[in-house]
Structure 1
Amino acid sequence: MADDFGDRVVAVARGFIGTPYRHQGSLKGVGCDCLGLVRGVWRELYGAEPEVPAPYAPDWAERAGEERLLLAAARHCGPALPASALRPGDLLIFRWQEGAAAKHAGIAAPDARFIHAYEQASVIESPLIPSWRRRIAGVFRFPELS
């Protein structure tokens, strides 16, 4: 059952591929950023978002220094999982550099890939190469539908 749900999460996320990058956006085909991708996938899976984020600037993490993404992921998906437990459909939170707040999100896909909103392009599927793996700050599993 868990693998089926992970496959569903990946299918929904792949439906966003090609959506242009738009800061604070969360609409498939219209525009989204990395958080907006997660928000849009959540809406398709559950019907509504668990919370709507306050407006945020592109440099919010640098200015606030708070682990807002990690805390929100834990609130809605449960405690972080070890990276070794990673499977398709999991929510990935990335930290650009040691000591900085995590500020990028994506969704794990099969074959060591992940789906994310890339600022210079759109929503894309990328290889989860070592330089990305090193930046993983948290792995979270979307709650299964009951």
Structure 2
Amino acid sequence: MDDPVVVAARGWLGTPYVHQASAKGSGADCLGLIRGVWREIRGAEPETPPAYTADWAECGGAEVLLGAAMRHLAPVPADAAWAPGQVLLFRMRPGAIAKHLGILSQDGDAARFIHAYTSHGVIDSPLTPPWRSRIVARFRFP
């Protein structure tokens, strides 16, 4: 049986990329995807995010996205097993703040993750070594 988080995330595949949006089929960014899946499986969002720019406060260095994940999601220990449905948080380059999210859709040798990516929309991508090396933390929906 498929993980309910993955089932919900797959329903967003093909949604166009729209910065700050969270509307299945109409538009979403990576945070909007996570917010939409939250609404589908948990109900009302615990917090409304403030307006944010595409750089996610890189200039100030504040870990805004990591802080929000720590407030609302359950951290997965680094040595715990990988499992579909886990939320992945990425740093796009070394030393930068964490600013991208995805949901592990398949684990193992052919691992994949669902995410909203600029110019591509919501897609299911291979979790290649370059992507895997950018993961900062893993979480579960509570």
Q: Which residue of 2 aligns with 1:97?
A: 93
Identity %: 58
- 2:77, 2:100 → 1: CA distance? 17
Instruction: Please tell me whether the aligned partners of residues 94 and 102 of structure 1 are also in contact (alpha carbons under 8 angstroms).
Output: yes
* TM-superposed deviation, 1:84: 4.9
Residues 93 and 83 of structure 1: is their aligned pair in 2 closer, same or farther, counting only changes over 3 Å? Answer: farther
What does residue range 60-79 of structure 1 map to in structure 2 within 5 Å?
60-79=56-75
Structure 1 residue 80: deviation in Å? 4.3
Moved over 3 A (4+): none
- Residue by residue over 1:119-141, the C-alpha shift from the partner in whole angstroms, topping out at 9 and shown as x without a partner, is 01110000001000000011001
Unpaired runs of 5+ residues, structure 2, are none
User: Which structure 1 residue ranges, 5 or more long, are not aligned?
Assistant: none
The structure whose residues are more often helix, as a share, is 1
How many residues matched?
139
Partner of 1:51: 47
CA distance in 2, matches of 1:122, 1:20: 4
Q: 1:24 aligns to what?
A: 20
In the TM superposition, what is the alpha-carbon distance from 1:31 to its structure 2 partner?
A: 0.2
Give the whole-Å Cα distance in 2 for the aligned partners of 1:75 and 1:93. Answer: 14
